[in-house]
């Protein structure tokens, strides 16, 4: 019986290297047939945003993401799963970022023998990160003003609800 997969969960201020995270999960592994990644970026919001500020509740955020990631490895046959979420001020920009730009906010990497499991696990994890992970977002505008805290979207809650059974 294969060893249980322990998801990697990190919350950090610094940028991350997508290729390095994929390599960490796949290096020397001949049993992996699929790698699915999702990287969320800070978008420009029609030219008015200078930065998006992300705050989290340390300890609680890691625990909640770990709980969700552990549920994913129990639901799907994965060989690895990584979830990285950044905090602090992140500026928008074009991808790929120029030197000094760090517009990536979140990364999910799911690896499996087969694509369907990797796709579904990554989608599941992102749906719950968007709707239930304890993060707060505040917009900072180019004109120097601060926007309010960004409200959760009903569409994110609806997306996450498709993963729950009627008895939950």
Residue 24 burial (CB count, 10 A):
13
pTM over 0.95: no
Domain extent listing, the chain: 10-149
Query: Between the CA of residue 139 and those of 18, 45, 144, 150, what are the distances in Å?
Result: 25, 10, 10, 7
> What is the mean predicted confidence (pLDDT) over 34-49?
88
Summary mean pLDDT of the chain: 87
What DSSP state is assigned to residue 57? -
145-164: average pLDDT: 72
Band of pLDDT at residue 153, cut at 50, 70 and 90: low
| pLDDT, position 168 | 47
CATH class of 10-149: alpha beta
| Residue 130: pLDDT over 80 | yes
Element (H, E) at 118: helix 115-132
pLDDT for 43 beyond 90? no
């Amino acid at each position: 019986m294969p060893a249980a997969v322990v998801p990697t969960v990190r919350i950090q201020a610094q940028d991350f290297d997508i290729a390095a995270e994929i390599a960490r999960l796949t290096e020397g592994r001949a049993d992996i047939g699929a790698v699915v990644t999702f990287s969320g970026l800070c978008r420009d919001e029609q030219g008015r945003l200078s930065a998006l500020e992300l705050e989290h509740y340390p300890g609680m955020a890691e625990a909640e993401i770990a709980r969700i990631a552990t549920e994913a490895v129990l639901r799907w046959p994965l060989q690895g799963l990584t979830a990285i979420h950044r905090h602090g001020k992140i500026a928008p920009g074009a991808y790929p970022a120029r030197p000094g730009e760090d517009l990536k906010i979140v990364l999910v990497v799911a690896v499996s023998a087969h694509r369907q499991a990797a796709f579904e696990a990554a989608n599941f994890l992102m749906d719950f990160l968007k709707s239930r992970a304890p993060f707060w977002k505040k917009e900072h505008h180019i004109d120097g003003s601060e926007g309010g805290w960004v409200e959760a979207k009903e569409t994110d809650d609806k997306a996450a609800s498709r993963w729950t059974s009627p008895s939950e």
